[in-house]
Chain A
Amino acid sequence: MTPVPTPETQFFWDKARAHELWLPMCVDSRRHFFPPRLFSPFTGGAVEWRPASGRARLVSFLIVHRAAPGFEDKVPYIVALAELEEGPRMLTNLPGAPIDPAGLTIGAPLTVTFEKCGDMTLPQFCLASHP
């Protein structure tokens, strides 16, 4: 499935197209959050966009054997959660990583990368040891 931006998320996707990862941040509390919202989920106050470091760590994963529609030729594939240095979590497929639980360690360092998804560009994360 190709994501369709809303006015609240358009900036995120525009930056992804330029291979940049940006996160919304609560101006009052200086805390980052995700997914994007027009108002801070911490204070209800103003939000500004900030570039993210692109560094994350692996906090959970699955190896999917039963394909979702459109992913039939991809099984088995990884679905993982990356926890960004700034705090929020994002999904990823860990491109380039071994499709083997023994090769995936919770806490492993990840770095952001970008891949084509239809006419959009999708942020992904790969193992820092497999750039």
Chain B
Amino acid sequence: MSDVVIVGAAESTRLGVIPDQSATSLATESALLALAEAGLGIADVDGVAGTLSPVDLAFMLGVRPRWLDGTMVGGCSYMLHVRHATAAIRSGQAEVVVIAHGESGRSRVGAAVFPREPSSTAGQFELPYGVLGAYSRFTLPVMAYLHKYGLNEADLAKVPVAQSRWASRNPRAVRPALLTVDDVLASPLIAWPFHRLECCPVNDGGGALVMTTKARAADLNLRYPPVVVAGSGESCEGPGPAFMEDLTSFRAFRDASAEALRSAGLTHTDIEHLMIYDAFAHVPLYGLEDAGFVGKGEAVDFIDSGATSPGGALPLNTNGGGLLYAHTGMYGMFALLEGVRQLQGRAAAQVDKVRTSLVLGVGGMFSAAGAVALRAANS
């Protein structure tokens, strides 16, 4: 199925600290930039999706939509929006869909406060133990993983080291320094074994995608080649890391990635570029193994071999990843945008002749997952 394409993929002009823009205006700015790439205007849009209220997004943009998606399962929600929009466009419920993200993660301008309901599952059984932050909750299973495979603190540090080879080529990366394992281990401890450079920064920014039919795209004056949504998957597991079936594997990563590949008619060897949502350094290890690109316990050696670095066989997190490029809180949109840019040949650290990309996102903290398989239109 290759009848739905991405024709616009843009980020907010600025990324990092933006105290003079609300989350909503970061989203609408990105949406307008993405529409401009596609040669489309507000009047062309008939579908709106986002994690901010899609009603607010439509109102602020001035769109009169006939299709809305406010799916909110955390940072991978945008992968689910792409999947849902593909179905909507394919069935004729919408023709031009804008998916927009804006988050004032750092400056908290017009940003919602996360509810901390003390009668929720987390409120009763996690938060009383001092796990209020993502850095002490998302990270909790890692020692089970490291112990199982005989790995240590320095092995975990190899993840940002490899990604720094990409971030150092990206002028927009908020952490552009080329890193060594010693650099990572020398950064302040956040929650042992995680150091600051193994935890994402918290930034302000936005991003947006525009999707339509291949037929409509053929009539548009596109700035960049269209990218085909070849397949997708989504799933979930539970309320948090403490309740995973297996502390060393994320079921929703396994299910969503398998569905994306199956629905795209692609196998692992067909995938030439990979994005794995990396709020913390262990997540790409789980993602590589759960999506089946390497065997269990092999992800650290694979990354350390250079396979995911520039010139490697499977370039991974080529914008620098959430750890080093930028992380607004719900990073999934930025992973998708980098996958699209690579297939359009306009990424900051461009991989040579890349034709396929798999973008794998996590939502909540090992709670939900979404995967999107992308293909260059001319391949």
Q: Is the CB of B192 within 8 A of A101?
A: yes
- A35: chain B residues at CB < 8 Å are 121, 124-125, 239, 243
- B130: chain A residues at CB < 8 Å are 64, 67-68, 70-71, 74, 77, 79, 93
Given A81-B247, A91-B242, A66:B133 Cβ within 8 A: yes
Interface extent on A, as a size class?
Answer: 35 or more
A98 to B118, CA, bound (A): 29
B119 — nearest CB in chain A belongs to which residue? A4
Given A62-B143, A90-B242, A68:B121 Cβ within 8 A: no
- A69: chain B residues at CB < 8 Å are 132
B191 CB-CB contact with A under 8 Å: yes
A1 CB-CB contact with B under 8 Å: yes
A89 to B140, CA, bound (A): 12
Q: Is the CB of A60 within 8 A of B140?
A: yes
B176 CB-CB contact with A under 8 Å: no
Q: Is the CB of A66 within 8 A of B119?
A: no
Q: Mark A83-125, 1 if CB is under 8 A from B, else 0.
A: 0000001111100000001000010000000000100101000
Which listed residue, B126, B147, B192, touches A106 by the CB 8 Å rule? B147
- A6: chain B residues at CB < 8 Å are 119, 124
A77 to B193, CA, bound (A): 13
B62 CB-CB contact with A under 8 Å: no
Given A1-B118, A60-B144, A93:B129 Cβ within 8 A: yes
Q: Mark B165-198, 1 if CB is under 8 A from A, else 0.
A: 0000000000000000000000011111110000
A9 CB-CB contact with B under 8 Å: yes
Q: What's the dominant secondary structure at chain B's contact region?
A: mixed
A107 — nearest CB in chain B belongs to which residue? B147
The chain A residues found within 8 Å of chain B, CB to CB, are 1-6, 9, 13, 34-35, 59-71, 74, 76-77, 79, 81, 89-93, 101, 106, 117, 120, 122
B147 — nearest CB in chain A belongs to which residue? A106
Q: Is the CB of B147 within 8 A of A92?
A: no
B317 CB-CB contact with A under 8 Å: no
Q: Is the CB of B116 within 8 A of A1?
A: yes
- A60: chain B residues at CB < 8 Å are 140-144, 147, 247
Given A60-B143, A61-B143, A65-B189, A4:B124 Cβ within 8 A: yes
Given A1-B132, A106-B144, A90:B191 Cβ within 8 A: no
Q: Is the CB of B191 within 8 A of A66?
A: yes
Provide a sorted-by-A list of 30 A–B residue pairs whose CB atoms are within 8 angstroms: A1-B127, A1-B132, A3-B123, A3-B127, A4-B118, A4-B119, A5-B119, A5-B124, A6-B119, A9-B124, A35-B239, A59-B144, A62-B142, A62-B194, A64-B130, A64-B135, A70-B132, A77-B130, A79-B129, A79-B136, A81-B141, A81-B144, A89-B242, A101-B192, A101-B193, A106-B143, A106-B147, A120-B128, A122-B128, A122-B129
